[in-house]
Amino acid sequence: MIRLRRAFVTGRNAKRNAFLLLFSVAFFLASWLVANVSIGEAVNWVSAMFIVIIAAPSYYYLVRWAGVKKGVAVIVVLGILPVIVEAIGISTGLPYGGFYYTDMMGLKIFDLVPWSVAFAFGPLVLGTMSLAILASKDWRVMLPLSALLLVFVDLVLDPAAVVLNIWVWLEPGPYYGIPITNYTGWFVTALAASAILHIILSGTTKEVAEIPVEIAGSLLISVSFWTGYSFWTGLWIPVVIGILMIAGTLYVILASDVEMIPLSEVSART
């Protein structure tokens, strides 16, 4: 605990830690406004703005670490993938189950998927991969673990999104109106996204590139926001899951006192 406090206050990453902690607390508190204050038609651009702002820390650290070429490639691929998968899902019911987006998130691509979805999914995948890598660098272990962590993230996000009427399930299920198929489909999508990310960053090697914990910053902020919203609206299971994820992610980030080494330099050494 003493070492953790020292790393937070005086370590080389103290400014980073303070920034991420401040934003996490700010978004947790800001969720009270979303839960209690009606902003009318402004909800469209405010919701989209929140998603883009939350994605910014993850993408900033990604480009710093992986370089512009690989960083932008990851951002583009992880932006296009969820839009395509969700467009297919809305049209066919696969892999999540039948659902549709309301007009709350503004302009829709293909008149099906809000454009801001392109910024929502990627930072979550990057975050869960950076955490999963701490358990194992073997892709056979890391990829399914990353997908499983992303399912737990969705257990926090989805109930709040349903309460906010961001999307509507055609056949409601047992978990706050969400069908089980959503989570099996989410696991498959997360597994595919994690595999694609591994290929872009590491090629075909079995050992996964060690993604810096800074890249989990957007995951931390996002889960903080949705945990806060769940707290204000009485969604207690998501609150418990969210608090556990926040605590674990915070510990990993704050305990890290190593300098971020660019991916190109790491590759050159191996």
Helices and strands, number each (H, E), in the chain: 10, 4
- Tell me the CA distances in angstroms from 117 to 50, 63, 98, 202, 250, one per residue in order: 12, 20, 18, 26, 25
Across the 270 residues of the chain, what is the mean pLDDT of every consecutive 10-residue run? 49 79 94 86 78 96 94 96 97 96 91 96 97 90 96 98 95 97 97 94 75 94 97 98 96 77 64
Classify residue 10: in a domain, yes or no: yes
Residue-level pLDDT at 259: 67
102 in helix, strand or coil? coil
Q: Which two tokens stand for residue 18?
A: 């303070």
Q: Half-sphere exposure of residue 31, counting CA atoms within 13 Å on the CB side?
A: 26
Residue-level pLDDT at 270: 52
Residue-level pLDDT at 63: 96
Cα–Cα distance, 89 to 98 (Å, whole number)? 7
**Nearest residue to 92 via CA among 11, 30, 27, 181:** 181
Q: Which two tokens stand for residue 236?
A: 């207690």
Task: Please name the residue that has the structure tokens 């890249």.
Answer: 215
Terminal Cα distance for the chain, rounded: 34
pTM: 0.92
Classify residue 254: in a domain, yes or no: yes
Cα–Cα distance, 153 to 238 (Å, whole number)? 9
Q: Domain tally for the chain? A: 1
Question: E strand or H helix at 30, and its extent?
Answer: helix 14-36
Residue-level pLDDT at 267: 55
Cα–Cα distance, 157 to 242 (Å, whole number)? 9
Task: Please name the residue that has the structure tokens 């969400």.
Answer: 178
Cα–Cα distance, 12 to 72 (Å, whole number)? 27
Classify residue 102: in a domain, yes or no: yes
Residue-level pLDDT at 3: 47
Q: Are 220 and 24 in contact (CB under 8 A)?
A: yes
Q: What burial letters (b/e) apply to 58-93, b meaning 16+ CB within 10 Å? A: bbebbbbbbeeebbeebbeebbebbbebbbebbeee
Classify residue 46: in a domain, yes or no: no
Tens of pLDDT, residues 175-218: 999 999 999 999 999 999 999 999 998 876 667 788 999 999 99
Classify residue 203: in a domain, yes or no: yes
Task: Please name the residue that has the structure tokens 């969700």.
Answer: 86
Classify residue 42: in a domain, yes or no: no
Domain that holds residue 184: 2-36+51-259
Residue-level pLDDT at 262: 78
Classify residue 86: in a domain, yes or no: yes
Classify residue 43: in a domain, yes or no: no
Q: Where are the alpha helices (DSSP H) in 166-216?
A: 180-202
Q: Which two tokens stand for residue 203?
A: 């090629």
